[in-house]
């Protein structure tokens, strides 16, 4: 071990001695180290195999220890716990010719062991500070578990809920998605402690913005499918969150599986070099998605050697699992010197990332606090509960059937009343679903409650066969569907109110989980209708990973609470909202369609030359359904009542200052409630067709009953410009409509301003 530290000390000394040039300390250190490395070692840094406890892709790495012995591994992912990390790191340091430490990556997507709501749920909280705290908590638990890199935030804009990975992102809006991307990068990397080449204390982990790029634009909402998109839409609607993560200092970026306008992202130099590095100034490291280089062969881009060359020259630096750089890198560089340049550049960025993480000074970096103090701590569980409560969206509350009261006899019915597995949703990393709190865990101690299964979460055998091999924990009750519903009806008739918990098993959302039908599946709608037929008030609680098509459900129930996959403390969070301990405050960040035929449907659409007019035949519409969604972007009800007034807009320097009054009325609910007010702009006349609305600001705050507060929002000048079809940024003076409201389709305050 002494030899090891002596060697590291030698490298550090070399770095110190070379400290006379203009380079940064990190660059000096890395360049001095690379000067000592063989080509084999340099290529080895580009190799990222999967080792350990989780399987997150179609093939598994083999012979990893043997490759480590030859210094042919730059990092691993899917390994955690200090014991496992130390073992692998020790092995790697001992055997690497220059004792270069490994990166340890993992999909810490919405928490590490204490699981938060899925990102689409957290986004619905519209609470950037809470989202940052959540990422920070995840980082501390992941670091305590030996990890130093997460493949998060996923910031792919998505307008198509058929795509199962909408669960992992922040929804459809580029401005809000950008703010959330910034918050998550800050939460993971703790910028208060990071400089350009130092990623903060050991509690921080390096973040990874993904999937670059435009993965959410897959045709037909089918995962991994083709993306074809105009530069105009790319720049204005899909690029902003990636760019925001880069500007927030994200340490790495991950290439996406899809092709973009005919060129797969993983070998797309327009994306990886022109945009990411030259235009946005990204100076981190680019990792591919799982075997994405190998999959270039399926894209039809050549054989193994050819696709390895394409990816290297395009700027894909670390090869996740595919090992094509390992196989072909050396022979390619001998024939193509430019490949050698690309290999060295990639190796340098990977080593700089390790330096930034402090791995050369402390390869273990696992934060010294004992797991028990950090992982699944009471503080973290409380944060998870708060995050879950703020993420949930009250979609409907007819006749104020919510909140419930303790005198009521409540029948809790449905497959999601007792299931724990789905609480932590998809991409739940190291989360232990058996530790999560179901709805029943939280309410069974209430007075006057009863329970019935009502229906199986999944009835269809073929669907069960798809999901159970991946841990869905689905089974069929021994009773028939009819018997289950009959029992539920009998119970409902004895109750004052029915709480019906339905939704998706976690495996029906997430990766490789696109759906063509988004209604409540199998027996769920039948159960809902049977409950409605009893004449009792029905409160539908949904646990799912995407917008569903709820038109029928909406017609059969009095209230709908969208709980998403709410995380470890989800049951307690739902119970707190149902009981009125706190009012729901979530607002949708993705549109809920009436039916699949409306998709893609999103609020910031363009007007067309024949916008809908009920009095006219020849206008843009469907014959069989309204153009309007069932629930719009920004929608979310509260138990409290609010009003808006006194909108004032004024130019202050180059900014637009907007102020307005929010009042919470005395009537009705008196408990804790917060409200999200949203500021939208619309460019009335422009040289290109612009969205009918664009979110440019929001505020979330608590008010006491009867209280009024004046809210001030500032819109910086670059918020009302846009990229034209040549990808040039343009600012056009003219008239802008300014509106403020509680949703994109409920904006009581409106005015017009002239902006230059
Ligand atoms: C998966 C996902 C990506 C994830 C990676 C590693 O296929 O596409 O989001 O980070 O592989 O698990």
Given this structure, which CATH class describes domain 642-755? mainly beta
Spacing, Cα 742 to ligand 1 middle (Å): 35
* Nearest CA, atom 3, ligand 1: 289
pLDDT in tens, 489-517: 999 999 999 999 999 999 999 999 999 99
- pLDDT of the residue at 366: 60
Q: What is the largest CA-CA distance in the chain?
A: 85
> Can you tell me which atom of ligand 1 is nearest the CA of 56?
12
Ligand 1 closest atom vs CA 105: 6
Q: Cis bond leading into 489, ω under 30°?
A: no
End-to-end distance of the chain based on CA atoms, in angstroms?
66
Structure tokens belonging to residue 529 = 């209708």
Q: Which of 392, 400, 401 is nearest to 667 (CA)?
A: 400
Of the residues 51, 52, 61, 107, which should be mutated to test ligand 1's pocket, given the most ligand atoms within 8 Å of the CB? Answer: 107
Domain 381-586 indexed as CATH 3.40.50.1700: yes
Q: Nearest residue CA, atom 12 of ligand 1? A: 56
Instruction: Residue 225: name the closest of 298, 294, 174 by CA.
Output: 298
The full 3-state SS of 514-562, as one line of letters, equals: CCCCCCCCCCHHHHHHHHHHCCCCEEEEEECCCCCCCHHHHHHCCEEEE
Residue 104 CB-density burial (10 A; 0-12 exposed, 13-18 middle, 19+ buried): buried
Which among 289, 441, 572, 699 is annotated as catalytic?
Answer: 289
Q: Which residue has the tokens 């109750």?
A: 495
Q: Are 691 and 680 in contact (CB under 8 A)?
A: no
Structure tokens at 172: 């459809």
Whether 618 contacts 628, CB under 8 Å:
no
Amino acid 509: pLDDT: 97
Cβ–ligand 1 distance for 510 under 6 Å, the answer: no
| Residue 79 CB neighbour total at 10 angstroms | 24
Q: For ligand 1, say whether the CB of 210 is within 6 Å of any of its atoms.
A: yes
Does 554 participate in catalysis according to the annotation? no
Q: Which of 49, 56, 163 to mutate to test the pocket of ligand 1 (most atoms within 8 A of CB)?
A: 56
Model-level pTM? 0.95
User: Which ligand 1 atom sits closest to the C-alpha of 256?
Assistant: 8
- For residue 109, which atom of ligand 1 is closest to its CA? 10
Give dist(CA 671, CA 322) in Å, integer. Answer: 54
Q: How far is the CA of 106 from the centre of ligand 1 (A)?
A: 9
Both structure tokens of 596: 């699949």
Whether the ω angle into residue 211 lies within 30 degrees of 0, i.e. cis, is: yes
Q: Are 236 and 227 in contact (CB under 8 A)?
A: no
Cβ–ligand 1 distance for 57 under 6 Å, the answer yes
What distance in angstroms lies between residue 35's CA and the mean position of ligand 1's atoms?
A: 33
Question: What are the residue boundaries of the structural domains of the chain, listed by start?
Answer: 1-8+63-77+86-104, 381-586, 642-755
Residue 57 Cα to ligand 1 midpoint, Å, equals 7
CA of 165 to the centre of ligand 1 (A): 11
Q: What is the pLDDT of residues 138-188, one digit of tens each?
A: 999 999 999 999 999 999 999 999 999 999 999 999 999 999 999 999 999
Tell me how far the alpha carbon of residue 422 lies from the centroid of ligand 1, in angstroms: 20
H helix intervals, 259-323: 269, 295-298, 304-314
Distances from the Cα of 324 to the Cα of 13, 74, 296, 315, 554, angstroms: 35, 14, 11, 15, 51
642-755 matches 381-586 in CATH topology: no
Core vs surface per residue 47-63: b (16+ CB within 10 A) or e: bbbbbbeeebbeeebee
* Nearest residue by C-alpha to atom 11 in ligand 1: 290
Whether the CB of 290 sits within 6 Å of ligand 1: yes
Determine which residue's CA is closest to atom 10 belonging to ligand 1: 151
C-beta of 107 in contact with ligand 1 (< 6 A): yes
Cα(107) to ligand 1 centroid in Å equals 7
**CA–centroid distance, residue 276 to ligand 1 (Å):** 20
Q: Which atom of ligand 1 is nearest to the CA of 151?
A: 10
Q: Is the Cβ atom of 289 under 6 angstroms away from ligand 1?
A: yes
Atom of ligand 1 nearest to the CA of 211: 9
Residues of the chain where predicted confidence (pLDDT) is lower than 70: 1-21, 192-202, 366-372
């Amino acid at each position: 071990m002494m030899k090891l530290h002596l060697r590291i000390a030698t490298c550090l000394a070399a770095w110190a001695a070379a400290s006379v040039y203009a380079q940064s300390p990190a660059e000096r250190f890395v360049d001095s180290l690379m000067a000592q490395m063989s080509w084999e070692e340099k290529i080895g840094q580009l190799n990222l195999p999967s080792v350990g406890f989780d399987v997150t892709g179609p093939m598994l790495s083999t012979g990893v220890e043997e490759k480590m012995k030859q210094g042919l591994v730059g990092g691993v992912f899917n390994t955690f716990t200090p014991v496992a990390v130390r073992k692998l790191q020790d092995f790697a340091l001992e055997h690497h010719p220059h004792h270069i430490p490994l990166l340890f990556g993992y999909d810490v997507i919405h928490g590490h062991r204490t699981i938060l709501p899925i990102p689409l749920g957290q986004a619905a909280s519209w609470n950037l500070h809470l989202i940052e705290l959540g990422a920070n908590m995840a980082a501390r638990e992941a670091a305590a578990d030996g990890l130093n890199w997460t493949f998060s935030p996923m910031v792919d804009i998505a307008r198509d809920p058929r795509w199962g990975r909408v669960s992992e992102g922040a929804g459809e809006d580029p401005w809000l998605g950008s703010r959330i991307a910034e918050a998550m990068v800050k939460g993971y990397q703790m910028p208060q402690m990071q400089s350009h080449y130092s990623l903060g204390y050991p509690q921080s982990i390096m973040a990874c913005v993904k999937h670059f790029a435009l993965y959410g634009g897959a045709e037909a909402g089918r995962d991994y499918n083709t993306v074809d998109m105009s530069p105009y839409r790319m720049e204005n609607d899909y690029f902003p969150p990636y760019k925001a993560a880069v500007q927030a200092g994200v340490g790495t970026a991950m290439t996406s599986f899809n092709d973009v306008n005919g060129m797969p992202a993983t070998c797309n130099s327009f994306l990886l070099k022109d945009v990411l590095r030259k235009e946005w100034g990204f100076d981190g490291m680019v990792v591919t998605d799982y075997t994405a280089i190998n999959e270039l062969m399926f894209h039809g881009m050549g054989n193994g050697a050819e696709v390895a060359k394409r990816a290297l020259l395009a700027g894909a630096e670390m090869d996740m699992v595919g090992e094509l750089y390992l196989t072909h890198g050396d022979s390619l560089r001998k024939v193509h010197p430019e490949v050698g340049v690309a290999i060295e550049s990639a190796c340098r960025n990977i080593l700089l990332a390790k330096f930034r993480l402090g791995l050369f000074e402390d390869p273990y970096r696992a934060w010294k606090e004992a797991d028990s103090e950090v992982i699944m701590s009471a503080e973290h569980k409380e944060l998870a509960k708060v995050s879950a409560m703020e993420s949930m969206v009250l979609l409907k509350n007819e006749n104020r059937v919510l909140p419930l009261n303790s005198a009521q006899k409540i029948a809790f019915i449905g497959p999601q009343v007792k299931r724990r597995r789905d609480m932590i949703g998809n991409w739940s990393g190291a989360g232990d679903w058996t530790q999560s709190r179901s709805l029943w865990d939280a309410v069974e101690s209430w007075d006057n409650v009863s329970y019935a299964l009502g229906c199986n979460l999944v009835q269809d055998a073929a669907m069960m066969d798809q999901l159970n091999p991946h841990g869905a924990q689905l089974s069929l009750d021994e009773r028939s569907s009819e018997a289950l519903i009959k029992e539920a009806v009998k119970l409902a008739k004895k109750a004052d109110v029915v709480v019906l918990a339905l939704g998706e098993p976690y495996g029906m959302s997430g990766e490789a989980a696109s759906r063509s039908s988004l209604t409540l599946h199998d027996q769920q709608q039948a159960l809902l209708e049977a409950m409605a037929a009893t004449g009792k008030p029905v409160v539908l609680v949904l646990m799912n990973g995407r917008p569903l098509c709820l038109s029928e459900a909406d017609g059969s129930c009095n209230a709908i609470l969208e709980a998403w996959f709410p995380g470890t403390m989800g049951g307690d969070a739902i119970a707190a909202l149902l009981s009125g301990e706190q009012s729901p405050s979530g607002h949708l960040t993705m549109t809920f369609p009436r039916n699949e035929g409306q998709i893609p449907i999103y609020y910031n659409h363009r007007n067309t030359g024949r916008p809908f007019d009920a009095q006219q035949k020849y206008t843009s519409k469907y014959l069989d359904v309204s153009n309007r969604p069932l629930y719009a972007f920004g929608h979310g009800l509260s138990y409290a009542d609010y009003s808006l007034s006194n909108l004032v807009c004024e130019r202050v320097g180059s900014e637009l200052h907007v102020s307005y009054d929010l009042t919470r009325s005395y009537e009705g609910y008196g408990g804790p409630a917060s409200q999200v007010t949203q500021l939208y702009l619309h460019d009335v006349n422009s040289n290109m067709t612009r969205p009918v609305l664009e979110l440019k600001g929001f505020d979330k705050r608590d008010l006491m009953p009867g209280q009024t507060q004046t809210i001030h929002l500032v819109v910086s000048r670059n918020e009302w410009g846009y990229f034209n079809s040549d990808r040039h940024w343009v600012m056009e003076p003219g008239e802008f409509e300014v509106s403020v409201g509680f949703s994109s389709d409920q904006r009581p305050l409106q005015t017009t301003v002239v902006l230059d």
